[in-house]
């Protein structure tokens, strides 16, 4: 654990009682002046740390920033996702950063957050709007033991994980629109971008990118998103500490990833079905330059959508843009 994370962990533990500079210095094995310098740095990041002659240091408020060491220190037990974690102030796209780490041979499970992205992307090169400090824009490196055909399982499982985390942290009830949207009140609050590097029968790595709109107000949304997008704040009427959400997301993602890797996709897909707003509906799917209409019947064991066409044929769809037809 880094010095900052150790200091924050102790400040949280002692709460109002406070901890002296001398005690922190002895815990860290550094001088009191060195402790003071770290406290100053944490204050600069927005942590409100009071210093009183009687009680020592007391943590009064934490800022809504993502601090890699603090997140790691608070994470607790995980299997793979969250083994390592980095936070960028700004990057092009967190998927780009993960790709570079993957090519360098970094082990799976590392997460990269960015406070803002200058070239955040959706599928088919679409732009993903990622304003500073208002959302969770992050990617995870995965090296799953799946066939390339089963990558859709990861998107579906991640959507379930995101929905579970939103529900536990906000009490909102998100729905999932196949394959990669999380919806609140008919508007998109989160998108998932799964990018694959594979050989014929083997996945080299998967970059799982997730964008969750957290604390935007309607005024923060650009005009082109007003009708289609929302945020947790808009839907719940309050702001949400992003660090808590990030920790819940990591735990849920780690859990579903373990299940997918150990052949437990069927259980996840049951949960998916109960949260899905697409199943049973008449839908239109655009996939490449093809548009198919029919009723969304089920998900198969690779995560593909089974669509019953007007002619009674069952089509298996691996990806595309879904519109629900009224
Ligand atoms: C997605 O694409 O929904 C996948 C989005 C993945 C974003 C994450 S952020 C971290 C990581 N790094 C990246 O560069 N990307 C991932 P798609 O289904 O193609 O939807 C894209 C469409 O969503 C756009 O064309 C807009 O209409 C809309 N959109 C853009 N920004 C949005 C936002 N912040 N919230 C809701 N909708 C948005």
Extract the runs of DSSP E, i.e. beta strands, from 185-231: 187-198, 203-213
- 216 and 99 part of one domain: yes
- 295 and 191 part of one domain: no
Candidates 301, 305, 303; CA nearest to 292 is 305
Domain boundary residue, one of 46, 61, 76: 61
Placement of tokens 């897909």 in the chain = 269
With a CB cutoff of 8 Å and minimum separation 6, the contacts of 125 are: none
The per-residue pLDDT for 159 is 98
- 102 and 147 part of one domain: yes
- 249 and 302 part of one domain: no
Å from CA of 293 to ligand 1 middle: 24
Number of domains in the chain: 3
Would the CB of 117 count as within 6 Å of ligand 1? yes
C-alpha angle with apex 271: 265 to 276, nearest 5 degrees?
A: 115
- Residue ranges of alpha helices (H) inside the chain are 3-14, 21-28, 32-44, 68-75, 94-103, 151-170, 232-236, 242-261, 265-275
203-213/187-198 β-pairing = antiparallel
Å from CA of 162 to ligand 1 middle: 15
Give the range of the structural domain holding residue 308, as residue numbers without chain letter. 282-324
What CATH number corresponds to the domain at position 37? 1.10.10.10
Residues facing residue 307 across a β-bridge = 296, 315
Reduced to 3 states (helix: H, G, I; strand: E, B; else coil), residue 109 is: coil
The per-residue pLDDT for 103 is 97
- 34 and 82 part of one domain: no
Would the CB of 122 count as within 6 Å of ligand 1? yes
Å from CA of 178 to ligand 1 middle: 14
Q: pLDDT truncated to tens, each residue of the chain (326 aa)? A: 789 999 999 999 999 899 999 999 999 999 999 999 999 999 999 999 999 988 999 999 999 999 999 999 999 999 999 999 999 999 999 999 999 999 999 999 999 999 999 999 999 999 999 999 999 999 999 999 999 988 999 999 999 999 999 999 999 999 999 999 999 999 999 999 999 999 988 999 999 999 999 999 999 999 999 999 999 999 999 999 999 999 999 999 999 999 999 999 999 999 999 999 999 999 999 988 899 999 999 999 999 999 999 899 999 998 899 999 97
Between CA 8 and CA 245 the distance in angstroms is 18
What CATH number corresponds to the domain at position 315? 2.30.30.100
- 73 and 186 part of one domain: yes
């Amino acid at each position: 654990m880094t010095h900052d994370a150790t200091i924050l962990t102790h400040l949280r533990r002692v709460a109002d009682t406070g901890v002296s500079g001398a005690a922190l210095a002895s815990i860290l094995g550094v001088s009191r002046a060195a402790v003071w310098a770290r406290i100053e740095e944490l204050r600069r990041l927005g942590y409100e740390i009071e210093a009183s002659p009687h009680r020592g240091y007391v943590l009064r408020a934490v800022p809504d920033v993502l601090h890699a060491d603090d997140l790691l220190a608070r994470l607790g037990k995980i299997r793979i996702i969250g083994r390592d974690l980095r936070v960028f102030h700004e990057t092009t796209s967190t998927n780009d950063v993960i790709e570079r780490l993957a090519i360098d041979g970094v082990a799976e499970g590392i997460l990269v957050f960015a406070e803002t992205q200058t070239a955040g992307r959706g599928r088919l090169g679409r732009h993903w709007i990622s304003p500073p400090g208002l959302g969770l824009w992050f990617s995870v490196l995965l090296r799953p033991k799946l066939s390339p055909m089963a990558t859709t399982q990861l998107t579906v499982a991640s959507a379930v994980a995101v929905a579970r985390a939103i529900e536990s942290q906000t009490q909102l009830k998100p729905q999932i629109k196949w394959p990669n949207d999380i919806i609140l009140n008919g508007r998109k609050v989160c998108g998932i971008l799964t990018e694959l590097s594979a050989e014929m029968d083997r996945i080299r790595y998967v970059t799982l990118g997730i964008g969750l709109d957290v604390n935007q107000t309607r005024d923060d949304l650009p005009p082109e998103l007003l009708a289609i997008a929302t945020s947790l704040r808009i839907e719940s009427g309050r702001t949400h500490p992003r660090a808590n959400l990030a920790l819940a997301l990591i735990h849920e993602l780690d859990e579903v990833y373990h299940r997918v890797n150990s052949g437990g996709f069927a259980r996840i897909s049951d949960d998916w079905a109960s949260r899905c707003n697409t199943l049973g509906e008449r839908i239109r799917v655009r996939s490449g330059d093809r548009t198919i209409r029919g009723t969304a019947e089920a998900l198969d064991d690779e995560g593909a959508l089974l669509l019953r066409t007007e002619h009674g044929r069952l089509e298996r769809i691996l990806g595309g843009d879904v519109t629900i037809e009224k």
